Structure formats: C-alpha cells, structure tokens
Amino acid sequence: MKIKAMLLLPTYTKGRGEKKKTNLFSMNIFRNMHYQAINKVKQDYHKEVKEWAETLPKYKTIFPKYTIYFKDNRKKDIDNYTFPLHKFLMDAFVEYGIIGDDDYTYVKGFTTKFGGIDEQNFVVVELTGEQLGVK
C-alpha cells in the first residue's frame, strides 16, 4: 500500500525582533550549527509531522520517496535538503512508533527528485513498505 502526503521542508529561524527570518534547513546550515540549535530544529520538525505520523500504520520495512518543490528559481543542490528532511522524518517515525529503528533493516532505501517550482517550499512523501501485521 502506498501512502502519500505533502509536508513542509524543515526550517530554522535566524535573528531577533524585526530581523527574525525563517530559512530552509540544509546540510550546509547543519554542519555549522551548534548541536542544541540542531536539536531544536529537529524537535520543531517532529511537531510539524506529528499529526500525519500518528495516522500512519506501523511498518516492518519502509522505503520513502521524496519529491521536493521550492518556491523560487534559485538553483539548489537537492542532496543538501534531502539529508535533514530524511534524517528528521525517520527519527520522528521512530519516536512515534511507526518503525522500530531507522537503520537499514527497517529503512530499505530512499529516493529524492526535484518536482519543480511552486508557491511554497514543500515535499511530497510517498511511503511504501511492509506493514506490520499485514500479509
């Protein structure tokens, strides 16, 4: 069974007051951020996907397919955006009991493709895999 959903991409907030700005979270940002700030971004993303995750069945194995859409024409390396998206989403699935762990015995792989330009930054997630208790 395939399950599809549209989710926002992970973001982080930079600055204070009037200079406060929300940006897309990428590998380039991740590598330079303090671990406590990274954890805040991760926890915020877990809250973002919680309602959807709680509707999902439990999986024995899972294979997510991501289609990423950006809101502007600026060229981006989709690998840099796939890393935090996939990592944070799989961690949320473990936290919410969708999968037992996020190692290769549960997550059999994943694919990412660029979907195009749209009005906002988002990802279409398509889940396939072996559900627990379903033969």
- Domain spans in the chain, listed from the N-terminal domain onward: 3-122
Query: What does pLDDT average to over the chain?
Result: 92
DSSP 98-109: SSS-SSTTTB--
pLDDT tens digits along 37-90: 999 999 999 999 999 999 999 999 999 999 999 999 999 999 999 999 999 999
Amino acid code (one letter) for 22: T
Instruction: Give the lowest-confidence range in 7-11, 57-61, 82-86, 98-102.
Output: 7-11
- Gap between the Cα atoms of 9 and 29, Å rounded: 14
| Percentage above 90 pLDDT, the chain | 79
84 with 46: CB under 8 angstroms? no
For residue 11, pLDDT beyond 80: yes
**Is the pLDDT confidence value at 28 over 70?**
yes
Average pLDDT of the segment spanning 98-107: 96
Classify domain 3-122 by CATH number. 3.30.1330
Q: What pLDDT was estimated at residue 112?
A: 97
Provide mean pLDDT across the span 98-121.
96
